[in-house]
Structure 1
């Protein structure tokens, strides 16, 4: 190494230490690996022009380091340097650069680094930057070849590489094996770095991998190239919001029209989904349109319908980049890719993908893996798959349009049928005694293999899947699948009651009510409106709850549905309880109780007994209240949630009757059952009750701790509907 390189390293170290940077700090700021910075400082690697200029800028060396780099540069006659220019707007990727730099520098490295990721994620820019970082370590040359996906065969690529290495065309063998042998021979004893960009498959690139252990290869691909077992695989993800903002500002350059704050810029780059290509195009369009204000540009980009069109600057296009990946898919994968765009949720379960495609789950998983290998979807934990937002837009606009309309409708119907079957199976486990309408014709029960072995498994599935099921209700209503819409909402009610997910409960039932009206099913409208009233009551919106219960009561009477009439009457009685109209509440609950007992509705009777007990507490009839609360507890069977609710009711009666020891014992049991039944709400209610008891007993620290536990478990205990929450408010002053 020349004396100039040694002097550069000494000067660099002094500047870095004066600035207070560690090796890692400087490496991150100049976008080179820590190992390369260390080599340059110790005179073991020559500084490139880009390296020197970056150090000048970060350390404020006013060009001194660039001049030293010029002196340290090797004399003409070295290896070929064919790397393309590195972009001056390169942003982020410090961790990836370290991984690649380490793989290139290690003597025991496999010799090959594979950078994979979706179209537009910046694989090529990263490969070029990593190659420039390591250029000085490869004195025999650094070469770059774009294989253009499938457009360049292995034989054609070998021909290009051999000519670049100085082999006359007449000496290049006509067959691929002959070219590969000559290629390996020409690299024997050399230390070269080769970058192969846009590789389609392992088969395409395998003949281009040198046998010389001192040579290194960087590969970029939209496919995972899983068969390159010995390679160092570096997955390339999207940029963070902060990195995207930095890139956008760097490309725009001119600051006059740019906001000084990062927040509005972050909103713009969020539309780009962290894809460097999209960020660059957006920034270039804004920079080249001087009449736009930043707010006008942000508004143009925010509209999803035209976003892909907005991300096209005339020379580069996000949609065109995706199209290359899509067009390379076989027909079966193209069809699945388009059908997946029909799924209304963000996370797509393998079972749902199978339903959309009309194939078995095993076949769907195989196809989904192939789409993920092509970086057109992303695998998620728990057997789910996800689109990047911009890829979903592309799939909707370009791939779905290739699927015939009739096939799309059939796929949606299969998806909704699956959702109904699974939701019904879950509801039967969570609320086995609940009334359920007969299934839609064609919606078959799940087989033993497809179903859920126990209620806990069903609840876990709903915890994951409910956002998708809400979106399916919305989709069913919009597509005129009204029967499926209202029935799916009906089957979700008990889950939403258990989890206190009031907003999705209300949204699904609003869609369901409109769908039931659209098909003229009065009973379905009544049941849906009644359930909607329950959501409002549970949330504490008593005026809205009363309005919906009264509508449901009139509709049930119109339909001649005696059970429904009793249900609406009972629900109105609960509203009267919460509103303080205790005599009316007690009267109507007793009427409902007689009706439930007459029709054999044991669970509804027990729930009504609990309501009677709570009403009697407010009337001061503690003996009757305790008798009814304990009877309600005795009548519940099988559901830990129902048992926890009844024990909390018994505990509340004891608390109000000043029997504190009995209240504490029942609250403890209720908390245990609530935990077992996975009901944070009932556990929080029990903890609140125990905190109230501690406060009354003069133990304020214990009370505060129990109340804090309750708040952490569920911050939605409403003093209007939960007696323990009202008591806590009074005790806290």
Structure 2
């Protein structure tokens, strides 16, 4: 309550004198009058009314007599704050994140406020999401919404607490001096109230827990460039934003007044949003550019953003934000960030980064974790890290400061790391004794504990291994090119087919073998490439490649390489239905393996001879030879793949003899063993064959087997897919 001293009180000057007095004099008189009222009230409390009161009352004054027209007014409650920024325009997507925030609002939390932290790289739309959602649920917070911008850590926890208190109606002279007291008072003022606090650009997430109000019906929403996963145990819900999807990025541009231009050039528009990294902030910059340049086509904008210097100029705000983010990193993390700009691939493991930056793997992991926490690095579900396109471009610019010599040394270390890891994976996936022209022996303990683990690594790192082949070729590291193709790439191809990429890599390996004048390596690389061409149905080119391989092996005088080259050439001859010529090759290769004492090599040639004998219609003879090969292979239990191949050839011979029950039995064993090995491509042929025998005997399941075989062939882009598709259509 307040006293109204607009009228005279006892002991004051008359009203006419007051009106004529100066402002300063009137103020002095009012002060005197106020003091007299207080004295009068106090005098009458003791003598006339007593000092006790009981029961609920409002605006209590105990006074014997008050004269002169003193007025009392009830103090008005402070207006509920409404400090949210205006709702963002052109907002798109983020449905899963909005659903997570809705769930936070709805959940029961006991006696604590709900809290969420929206994190991500600069420009990804954190504040836009928070503001958009806040406007959607504004009716849930009847006591108001308070917003405070920490300015990327430039403003303190105390400033935030004081701002909140002032927003809730606390006068400046009532706000405590210490931060702890401010926070304590803030909890008092928020208890039991329905408030939304929006803290933008929080630099230190430890502030979040301190500012939580003591009200289960309030919510604290924060945005930060730091991931909040570590705060889950404190009741914080972390929401990490990534770039928009392609469709939503295009929708953002359409909503920016560019619908007709975007829809008129759909291909260029798709490339444009990719050039923008599908970040809302960058899309906004480009939309503004297109709105100013009304004569520009979308294709012209793409060209502008394709030029490195012009791109830097158009997107200077985005790059400046990254400059600031990296500038705030500790020195060790900032240097690792620059090394990531040297990495030639899109995703990378901690081990690869350790090799690149010449660090212990533990140190690389901890620094990557810090970069991930600051949202400069993302992590997928396969323990790999990756950079957003724009961040990768910025990191590559930072890498220039490392110097050309250091970058070249780093790339050589990286290629060497992949060569060594690939050699270990190869030995875990394939037979340790198989022919290898490089890295025949690898020192050290194999880092892969199981075959499955090694195969997963090969599949996960396939694109990077191909990248290392290209990098090694460009750097004239010819032996590394050959080793990578002969080791990890060939091991992977034997399990999961990737024809186009592997063919190109093997062509590079042939060039490298010629560059260092190594006929042994040339024969091996040409043989492998001939095998792939044969599998793709390019039989004439495969035959030519294998003939060159045999010639190189003859020139080298290397009997084991010659036996291998003859084997690959024989397989191409078999595919060309030249069965007798193929048997001649396999027989010669078997004799060479016998001279070398390589019984496994002998078994392989006998298996191939059995296939060609079936091709000549000599099926009973083929079954005998295949049985001999299988018996001989029992000496090599580590070879789990070749018995399955022999089983398939045996089933084909039984089918040719009309013995479908024997074929089905053999194929079921092969399929079970192949599934256990997790070699998906090797499943396709036995599945197709068992479907044929099931159909021939009227048994169910043929279509299911054909459908699975078709999926495998299509995934590998094998020409055999067309044949299986026809069988499904005929059925």
Q: Map Cα deviations across residues 545-592 of structure 1 (whole Å, 9 max, x no partner).
A: 122112222322333323223322332222222212233222222222
Residue among 140, 143, 146 paired with 1:143: 146
- Deviation, 1:294, is 2.2
> Does the 8 Å contact 2:482/2:509 carry over to 1?
yes
- Deviation, 1:393, is 1.8
Compared CA separation, residues 455 and 89, structure 1 to 2 (3 A): closer
Partner-residue secondary structure (3-state), 1:375: coil
Compared CA separation, residues 141 and 610, structure 1 to 2 (3 A): same
- Deviation, 1:246, is 1.9
Number of the residue aligned with 2:155: 152
Answer yes or no: is 1:85 the counterpart of 2:82: no
Aligned ranges 1:170-569 → 2 under 5 Å: 176-177=179-180, 179-180=182-183, 192-205=195-208, 208-211=211-214, 216-225=219-228, 226-227=230-231, 229-251=234-256, 253-259=257-263, 265-301=269-305, 303=306, 305=308, 309=312, 312=315, 317-398=317-398, 400-429=399-428, 430-437=430-437, 439=439, 445-447=443-445, 451-491=447-487, 492-569=489-566
Compared CA separation, residues 201 and 230, structure 1 to 2 (3 A): same
TM-score, scaled to structure 1: 0.79
Compared CA separation, residues 184 and 688, structure 1 to 2 (3 A): closer
Compared CA separation, residues 304 and 703, structure 1 to 2 (3 A): farther
Tell me how far apart the structure 2 counterparts of residues 665 and 634 of structure 1 sit (CA, whole Å): 18
- Deviation, 1:453, is 2.7
Unaligned 5+ residue runs, structure 1? 1-74
Compared CA separation, residues 481 and 79, structure 1 to 2 (3 A): same
- Deviation, 1:131, is 3.3
> Does the 8 Å contact 2:438/2:482 carry over to 1?
no
- Deviation, 1:646, is 0.8
Residue among 568, 588, 597 paired with 2:585: 588
Compared CA separation, residues 404 and 254, structure 1 to 2 (3 A): closer
Answer yes or no: is 1:123 the counterpart of 2:126: yes
> Does the 8 Å contact 2:495/2:682 carry over to 1?
no
Q: Map Cα deviations across residues 105-162 of structure 1 (whole Å, 9 max, x no partner).
A: 7674524332222221111112222333444554554332221213223345456556
Tell me how far apart the structure 1 counterparts of residues 224 and 716 of structure 2 sit (CA, whole Å): 53
Between 670-679 and 647-656, report the one with greater CA deviation.
Answer: 670-679
Q: Map Cα deviations across residues 661-684 of structure 1 (whole Å, 9 max, x no partner).
A: 433332232222322333333332
Tell me how far apart the structure 2 counterparts of residues 180 and 731 of structure 1 sit (CA, whole Å): 73
Q: Map Cα deviations across residues 302-346 of structure 1 (whole Å, 9 max, x no partner).
A: x3856852752x6xx222222232222111111222222333333
> Does the 8 Å contact 1:692/1:728 carry over to 2?
no
Aligned ranges 1:73-112 → 2 under 5 Å: 78-101=79-102, 103=104, 108=109, 110-112=113-115
Compared CA separation, residues 662 and 92, structure 1 to 2 (3 A): closer
Tell me how far apart the structure 2 counterparts of residues 574 and 123 of structure 1 sit (CA, whole Å): 59
- Deviation, 1:650, is 1.7
> Does the 8 Å contact 2:104/2:114 carry over to 1?
yes
Partner-residue secondary structure (3-state), 1:234: strand
- Deviation, 1:264, is 5.3
- Deviation, 1:645, is 0.2
Tell me how far apart the structure 1 counterparts of residues 582 and 442 of structure 2 sit (CA, whole Å): 41
Partner-residue secondary structure (3-state), 1:198: strand
> Does the 8 Å contact 2:688/2:706 carry over to 1?
yes
Partner-residue secondary structure (3-state), 1:343: coil
Partner-residue secondary structure (3-state), 1:220: strand
Tell me how far apart the structure 2 counterparts of residues 230 and 579 of structure 1 sit (CA, whole Å): 68
Cα RMSD for the two superposed structures: 3.6
> Does the 8 Å contact 1:612/1:628 carry over to 2?
yes
Compared CA separation, residues 170 and 592, structure 1 to 2 (3 A): same
> Does the 8 Å contact 2:688/2:724 carry over to 1?
no
Q: Map Cα deviations across residues 569-626 of structure 1 (whole Å, 9 max, x no partner).
A: 3322222222122332222222222112111233332222222222222223334322
Tell me how far apart the structure 1 counterparts of residues 218 and 374 of structure 2 sit (CA, whole Å): 28
Compared CA separation, residues 671 and 95, structure 1 to 2 (3 A): closer
Structure with the greater alpha carbon radius of gyration: 2
Tell me how far apart the structure 1 counterparts of residues 220 and 715 of structure 2 sit (CA, whole Å): 58
Tell me how far apart the structure 2 counterparts of residues 152 and 209 of structure 1 sit (CA, whole Å): 18
Compared CA separation, residues 158 and 515, structure 1 to 2 (3 A): farther
Tell me how far apart the structure 2 counterparts of residues 92 and 351 of structure 1 sit (CA, whole Å): 36
Number of the residue aligned with 1:687: 687
Q: Map Cα deviations across residues 339-383 of structure 1 (whole Å, 9 max, x no partner).
A: 223333333223223322333333332222211111111221132
Compared CA separation, residues 81 and 661, structure 1 to 2 (3 A): closer
Compared CA separation, residues 278 and 356, structure 1 to 2 (3 A): same
- Deviation, 1:235, is 2.8
Q: Give the number of equivalent residue pairs.
A: 647
Compared CA separation, residues 85 and 560, structure 1 to 2 (3 A): same
Compared CA separation, residues 720 and 168, structure 1 to 2 (3 A): closer
> Does the 8 Å contact 1:553/1:568 carry over to 2?
yes
Compared CA separation, residues 129 and 621, structure 1 to 2 (3 A): closer
Aligned ranges 1:697-712 → 2 under 5 Å: 697=697, 699=698, 703-712=702-711
Q: Map Cα deviations across residues 87-121 of structure 1 (whole Å, 9 max, x no partner).
A: 22222334434543554576745243322222211
- Deviation, 1:420, is 1.8
Compared CA separation, residues 308 and 318, structure 1 to 2 (3 A): farther
- Deviation, 1:536, is 1.2
